[in-house]
Chain A
C-alpha cells in the first residue's frame, strides 16, 4: 500500500536564512506588483450565467478537464526544466531549491484575489478568469512534481551515470534512456497527487464571488456551486456524479495503465511479487494500433538520436564548473532583479504602513482563529485516521477491500462538496465555523490516512510477532510499537494536511450563498473582505501575513518535528 504514501521533501536546512528573507521579500514584491495592477481593475465584474441543465454538464466537464490538462502540462514542462537546472547546475541550485522549498508551503489560494484582480486590469474579464484558474492550478501542481524530478535526478545511481558518461551518451539520449525512465515512477505518482490537488483549486477558482466581483468560468466547479446556491439537489447530484465518473475514468484509463507501464522502470533487481496491473494496458499491448504507432515512430526516434549526437559532437557541451566566469548580462540581470525585489518589497511595506492599528489587530486575531481551525481539523482527522489507518495497514484483507474505495473517495475535491455542506449547515448556529472546519477536514484527512496506512504497513512482521509473544496489552502495544513506528508518517502526513487546511480557509471563512454573505473571524475572511471592499493595502497585508505565518509554522514547528521523527524513529 506504499504507493499512495507521499513524502514532502525537505532539504537538510531547518534554520531560517537570509535566502528565506530574500524569498519572502520577493513574494512581497510580486504581490505588490499584482496589487498595483489591481487598482485598475473594473469595479464590477460579472461572469456568464451558469446553466444547470444536465445537457450542459458534458461540455462543462470538458472545459474543466481542459483547464486541468493545460495547467498540468505546463507544470510538467516547468518541472523538467527547473528540476534539471537545479540538479545539474550547482550555482543555480543554491537559488532554485530554497525558492521551491518556500513555494511548496505557501497557501496558494490566498493569492487568488490578487491574481484575479490584477489580470482583469490588463486582460478581458473572461480571459483573465481563465488564465487565473490555470495559473492557480499550475501553482498547486508544479512544486511536488519538480521536487520529485529533482530528487530522482540527484539519486540516479552513480554507476549508471558513469556508464552513460563512458559510452558518451548525448544529452538527449541520456534524458531518454536514463533520466526520464529513472524518474518515471516518481513523476507519475506525483502527477496523480497533483491532479487530485488540482481539482481542489479548480473548483475554488471557477467561481470566486465577493461583493460586486463575480468571477465565473463555465465548468464543473461553477456548476456545482451554482446548483448548491440555488438549492437544486438534482443538479448537485448530477454534477457530483459526473465528477466522480471523471475521476474514476482518469484512474482507469490514464493513471493505472501508466503505473503498470512504468513498473518496468523500477530499479530493483529482484522480481517483485505485487506488480501494479491494468486491464486497459493489457488491451493496449495486444492492440494492432499500438504496434503500428511504434513502428511508425521508430525512424523519428532514430533521427532524434542521430541529430542530437551530431550536434553535440560538433559543439561539445561545456563542462560546468563553479569557478566558471559568469557572463556580464547575467550579472546585470541579477542586479536588476535584486533591485526590483528590494524596491517592490519596500513599496509593499510602505503600502502596508497605511493600514490602521485596528486592522492589524484584526489580522492578528484572524491568524489565531484560522490557526486554531487548522489544528482542530488536524486533531479530528488524527482521531479517526490513526485507528482506521492502523487497522487497514496491518490487515492485508481489509487493505485489499478498502484501498480502491478510499482512493476514489479521496480524489473527490473537498471544494466540490463544500456548497452541499453549506446547504446543510448554514441554518445552524455557528454553522459557517463548523463548515469551515469540515471543509479543512475533508481536504486534509486523506493525506493523513494514507500516511498512517503506509506507516502501519511498514511495521516489521517480526516486531509484531514479538509483541504477540510478549503478550503486550493493547495499551502497551500502542505505546511501544505502533505509535513510535507510525510517528514519522503522522508527521509527514500532518505537514501536507496542514498546508491544505490553510488553503481551504480562504474559501471557507467567507461565503456568498443564496444571495447572502456569511463570514466568520479568520484570516481567510479578511482576505475576502478586503477584496470586496477594494481595500488593497489590507489585501496585501493579509495575504503576506498568512504566507509568512504558514512558512514560519512550517520552519519552526513541522520541520523540527520532521527531523526529530527521522532521527529517532527511523526503521533501519
Chain B
C-alpha cells in the first residue's frame, strides 16, 4: 500500500509551497519553519521526522488550520486553506481527551459538533469503540484508563468524523513501550486493510524506528530554522521487522540524515554577542552528561553507532543530539556516517583526573563566543559582578526570545567549568 503500488494516478491532497511561519517581527523575528514545500498524495503515509524545535508540530498545525502560515501556499485539494481544515483531524500526543466525559461521550462529542443526530451518534461511537477494542469501557472516564487505552480513545474520536487526512502528532511518545508497540501494530492493521476511511496519514515523530516501521516516505527536518533537509522513500514491505538487515540499514541512514544536520563545524563558532555576524547557539545539554558520553565512548574504544548508543543509554534522539552537538563544539567527538568518533581531546579528557578535567573544560568552554563574552565582561567590571538582566538584554539582540534559555545554558556551563558563578538571591553573575 505504499505510494508506488497505490492508486494509479494518486490525487494530490495536500500541497505546500514555500511555507514560512515566523514569530515576532523585524530583526528579532524567529522563523519556526522556512520554505517548506511538500505534497501529500492519497494513499500515502508520510512521517515528519526531526529533533525538537524543528517546527514539525508547527507544520502539522498549519496543515490542519490550527495555525496559519506567515507566507507561502497551503492548498488542500487545490483550494487555499482558510480556517480549520474540514477534511483533517489530529490525534494528539497528550490525548486531549475531556477528563469530565466518558469514553463514549468523548467519541460522540466529535460527532455532536458536526450535528450528527443523537441516535446515529451513539451507534457510530459504539462501533468505533468496538473496533479499537475498548468495548466494556464505554462509560469509563479517561482517568480510569491506562495511557495506551486513552490514546485508543483519541484515535476513535479522530476516526469518528471519518477524516480524509489523519494527522498524528507524536501519538505514541507519551505511552509506555509495550502499549506504544501494540497500538502501532493495530493502527497499521487498520490502515493497510483499509478499515478506516482516511485517504492519507501525516505523522509527526522524533522516533526514527517508528518512522521507518510505519511510513511510506520520511521527511527529515532540521532546525534553525525549521526546514526540510531530505526525503527518504521507504519501500520495505509490510509487515516490517526491526531485526531485518534492510530495516537496520535504513534506520542507520535515517540516523545519519538527522544527526548530520547537527554536526558542528568548528569554524562556525560565530562572533561574540553584539558583534556583527551570527553567534553560535549553545546546545541544550549539561556538561556532566557530556562527560558521561565521553567515558562511554572511551569504553567502546572510541567508536560507536549513534543509534545503538542511544538505545544503550536509553536516551531519546532529542536528548542525545544536543549532547553530541556540545561534544562536537568542544572538540571532544565528531559524527561520521551515523557513528560517534572520540577525538584525541576527548580521549585525554576521559583519562584525566578530576582536577585536570576542570582545567581542560574551562579552556574548551571559553572558546564559545557567548561564554567568552560573559567571562570578559565580568573581568572588565571592577567588582567582577554583573546583573543577570544585563546579559539577557544584550543577548536578546542575537537570540530574541531564546536569550533566556541561552543565558541559562551559559551559566550552567560556566559554573560547571568553574569560570564564573551565579548568585540566585541577588541575580548576579560573578567571578570567583
Q: Which residues of A contact B90 (CB under 8 A)?
A: 162-163, 166
Point out the residue from B61, B92, B141, B425 that lies within 8 Å of A163, measured CB to CB: B92
A sample of 10 more A-B contacts (CB under 8 A), given A167-B113, A168-B84, A298-B118, is: A159-B94, A159-B96, A166-B84, A167-B109, A167-B110, A173-B109, A177-B98, A266-B99, A305-B112, A319-B83
Q: Tell whether A361 is near chain B: CB-to-CB under 8 Å.
A: no
Residues of the B chain whose Cβ atoms lie less than 8 Å from the Cβ of A298: 118
| Contact surface of A with B, Cβ cutoff 8 Å | 157, 159-160, 162-170, 173, 177-178, 181, 264-271, 298, 302, 305-306, 309-310, 316, 319, 568
Within 8 A of A (CB), among B118-148: 118, 141-144
Between A163, A298, A309, the greatest number of chain B beta carbons within 10 A of the residue's beta carbon is seen for A163
In the assembled complex, 9 residue pairs joining A and B whose CB atoms fall closer than 8 Å, in A order, are A159-B93, A166-B66, A167-B157, A168-B114, A173-B109, A177-B101, A178-B98, A264-B100, A309-B115
Q: State how many angstroms separate the Cβ of B312 from the closest Cβ of chain A.
A: 31
Say yes or no: A181-B113 contact (C-beta < 8 A), given A159-B92, A163-B92. Answer: no
Q: Are B96 and A173 in contact (CB under 8 A)?
A: no
B113 near A309 (CB under 8 angstroms)?
yes
| A305 nearest CB neighbor, chain B only | B112
Is B161 within 8 A of A167, CB to CB? yes
Question: Is there contact, CB below 8 Å, between A166 and B88?
Answer: yes
- Within the assembled complex, what's the spacing in Å between the Cα atoms of A113 and B142? 54
Q: Any chain A CB within 8 A of the CB of B298? A: no
Which residues of the partner chain A approach B279 to less than 8 Å between Cβ atoms?
none
Tell whether A170 pairs with B113 under 8 Å between CB atoms, given A269-B142, A271-B144: yes
CB distance from A139 to the nearest CB of B (A): 32
Cross-chain contact of A267 among B64, B66, B99, B112 (Cβ < 8 A): B99
Determine if B64 and A166 form an interchain contact, defined as CB atoms under 8 angstroms apart: yes
Task: Given A165-B84, A269-B99, decide whether A264 and B141 contact each other with a Cβ distance below 8 A.
Answer: yes
Contact indicator B113/A169 (Cβ below 8 Å): yes
Chain B residue at smallest Cβ distance from A182: B100
A173 touches B92 (CB 8 A): no
Chain B residue numbers with a CB within 8 Å of A309 are 113, 115
B143 touching A268, Cβ below 8 Å: yes
Total A-B Cβ pairs within 8 A: 76
Which residues of the other chain, B, contact A165 by a CB distance below 8 angstroms? 66, 84
User: Interface digits, B156-175 against A, CB 8 Å rule (1 contact, 0 not)?
Assistant: 01000100000000000000
Q: In whole angstroms, how far apart are the Cα atoms of A159 and B115 in the complex? A: 22
Cβ-based interface call for B86 (8 A): yes
Closest to A163 in B: B96
CA of A181 to CA of B118, assembled, Å: 21
B89 touches A (CB below 8 Å): yes
Let me know if A181 and B98 touch, CB within 8 A. Answer: yes
Chain B residues lying within 8 Å of A271, measured Cβ to Cβ, are: 143-144
Quick one: CB contact mask for B73-115 with A, threshold 8 Å, 1 for yes?
A: 0000000000110101110111110111100000001101111
3 closest residue pairs by CB, A with B: A159-B96, A163-B96, A167-B110
Assess the A162–B66 pair: CB atoms within 8 A. yes
Q: Which of B66, B98, B144, B425 contacts A160 (CB 8 A)?
A: B98
Q: Which of A162, A268, A306, A319 contacts B92 (CB 8 A)?
A: A162
Cβ-defined partner of B86 (8 Å) among A157, A168, A266, A568 = A168
Chain A min CB distance to B203 (Å): 16
In the assembled complex, which residues on chain B have CB atoms less than 8 Å from the CB atom of A267?
A: 99
Choose one: B113, B141, B142, B425; the contact of A168 (CB below 8 Å): B113
Are A269 and B143 in touch, CB under 8 angstroms? yes
B425 contacts across to A, CB distance below 8 A: 568
Are B89 and A166 interface neighbours, CB within 8 A? yes
A316 touches B92 (CB 8 A): no
Which partner residue on chain B sits nearest A316 by CB separation?
B83
Query: In the complex, A173 Cα to B118 Cα: how many Å?
Result: 15
Contact for B99 among A164, A167, A168, A265, CB less than 8 A? A265
B341-386 contacts to A (CB < 8 Å): none
- CB B348 to nearest CB in A, in angstroms, measures 38
- Tell me the bound Cα distance from A299 to B394 in angstroms: 62
Taking CB atoms, residues of chain A closer than 8 Å to B118 are: 298, 302
How far is A488 from B430 in the complex, measured between Cα atoms in Å? 29
Max chain B C-beta neighbours (<10 A), residue from A166, A267, A302, A306: A166
In whole angstroms, how far apart are the Cα atoms of A76 and B425 in the complex?
42
Inter-chain CA distance A305–B117, complex, in Å, is: 10
For the complex formed, measure the closest distance between the CB of B432 and the CB atoms of chain A, giving whole angstroms: 23
With CB as the reference atom, state the residue of chain B lying closest to A263: B100
A316→B66 CA distance, assembly (Å)? 16
- In Å, the complex CA distance between A130 and B422 comes to 61
Instruction: Look across to chain A and name the residue whose beta carbon is closest to the beta carbon of B163.
Output: A166
**Measured CA separation A24–B109 after assembly (Å):** 47
- Chain B residues contacting A319 (CB-CB under 8 Å) are 83
Instruction: Give min CB distance, A23 to chain B, whole Å.
Output: 29
Q: Chain A nearest CB: distance from B168 CB in Å?
A: 13
CB of A161 to closest CB in B, whole Å: 9
**B143 & A177 in contact (Cβ 8 Å cutoff):** no
Residues of the B chain whose Cβ atoms lie less than 8 Å from the Cβ of A266: 99
- Distance to closest chain B CB from A484 (angstroms): 13
Cα of A319 to Cα of B100 in the assembled complex, Å: 28
- Return chain A residues, CB-CB under 8 Å to B94: 157, 159
Chain A min CB distance to B116 (Å)? 10
Contact B99 A306 (CB under 8 A): no
- When the two chains form their complex, are residues B96 and A162 in contact, meaning their CB atoms are under 8 A apart? yes
CA distance A271 to B61 in the complex (A): 32
In whole angstroms, what is the CA distance A411 to B99 when docked? 32
Q: How far is the CB of B300 from chain A (nearest CB, A)?
A: 37
Chain A residues near B96: list those with CB within 8 A. Answer: 157, 159-160, 162-163
Q: Which partner residue on chain A sits nearest B88 by CB separation?
A: A166
Chain B 377-412 against A: per-residue CB contact (8 Å), 1 yes, 0 no?
Answer: 000000000000000000000000000000000000
Measured in the bound complex, the distance between the Cα atoms of B98 and A173 in whole Å is: 13
The interface residues of chain A lying within 8 Å CB-to-CB of B114 are 167-168
* Nearest chain B CB to A157 CB, angstrom units: 8
CA distance A164 to B157 in the complex (A): 12
Chain A: minimal CB distance from B98 (Å): 7
The smallest beta-carbon distance between B59 and chain A, in angstroms, is: 15
Shortest CB-to-CB span from A39 to chain B, Å, is 54
A316 vs B61: C-alpha distance in the bound complex, in angstroms?
20
- Is the Cβ of B113 less than 8 Å from the Cβ of A173? yes
Measured in the bound complex, the distance between the Cα atoms of B97 and A164 in whole Å is 10
Chain A residue numbers with a CB within 8 Å of B88 are 166
User: Across the interface, which residues of B come within 8 angstroms of A167, CB to CB?
Assistant: 89, 109-110, 113-114, 157, 161
| A164 CA / B113 CA spacing, docked (Å) | 9
User: In the complex, A269 Cα to B94 Cα: how many Å?
Assistant: 11
Contacts of B161 in A (CB 8 A): 167
Which of B94, B98, B101 is packed against the most chain A CB atoms within 10 Å? B98
A332, B86: Cα distance in complex, Å: 39
Residues in A neighbouring B101, C-beta threshold 8 A? 177
Q: In the complex, which residues of chain B have a beta carbon less than 8 angstroms from the beta carbon of A264?
A: 99-100, 141
> CA separation between A302 and B142, bound complex, in Å?
24
